[in-house]
Amino acid sequence: MPEPHPAEPYTVAALYQFRALPDPAALREELRALGEQLGLCGTLIVAPEGINGTVAGSAAAVAELRAFLLAAGFEQMEYKESQASEQPFKRFKVRLKKEIVTLGVPVAPRERVGTYLDPHEWNALLADPDVIVVDTRNRYEVKAGTFQGAVDPEIDSFREFPAWVDEHLSGAEGKKIAMFCTGGIRCEKSTSLLLQKGFRDVFHLRGGILKYLEDVPESESRWDGECFVFDGRVTVGHGLREGGAVMCHSCGWPLTTEERQHPHFEEGVSCEHCFHRTTDAQKAAFRDRQRAYETGQR
């Protein structure tokens, strides 16, 4: 089982590909066995429309997983690697779902998507004042950072995005619309959705925010803040360096140093964003969970 050497950082791989799978359940079992053999952690989602997920382990283990997926026919994967100083996930899971990213309405990302822009082309598009730039992520992700001038739909789930489009972009079918997300997968579906609704000039950032932060020097960047990631690092910054945020384990919000000084912040229990949304009984249960976690770390 190739695990990271104590001095070696974890390699974190974010990947996805839309590809029709005749037997996703069989692939799930193969991936589950391989991941356990390699000592990986993280989550992979397998569905009839493809694969999506983020995993971590030793560089050798992650390379072996990638080789397996390439051999299994995922030659067009959107794939990015970064580093984590500590284990970013508690365990390894492979989930079988209806969609690899849940939009909730039928779209055809394998047949029709928006125009891909690389990070430097993206900067040029952002400079156009006539372009509507839309952040397709959830509100807690946007809170950690976003592109200058981007519209925040203020959604709590990607399932809410189609309704937001109907309400806020109706009448903008002739305008240029540019969308982005963490790694690119949500934009595959959101651009397909807009084209399906009659929009014509629809663009998205290839590889998402992670690719942008990896490729674009900070001096040329139009990104403000950090990028929320769904692992123990919580956020990353330019160069995909680990960020400074800490997650509230009650509501999931990425918290700055200042927010952790707020009277309503209690590690593992609450923060200023969720303090009034949980009962005393829930907070007591969260405290028990936090004590159990801290005891297990000793």
Place of tokens 């990353």: 236
CA distance readout (Å), 189 to 22, 142, 226: 21, 19, 24
Q: Which of 203, 204, 160 is nearest to 185 (CA)?
A: 204
Residue type, 26: A
The torsion region of residue 271 among left (phi > 0), alpha (psi -120 to 50) and beta comes to beta
Place of tokens 């939009």: 103
CA distance readout (Å), 27 to 34, 46, 68, 96: 10, 8, 11, 9
* Cα(62)–Cα(55) distance, integer angstroms: 8
Place of tokens 């384990």: 249
* Cα(235)–Cα(250) distance, integer angstroms: 17
Q: Which residue out of 41, 181, 187, 227 is catalytically annotated?
A: 181
41 is catalytic: no
Active-site positions read: 181
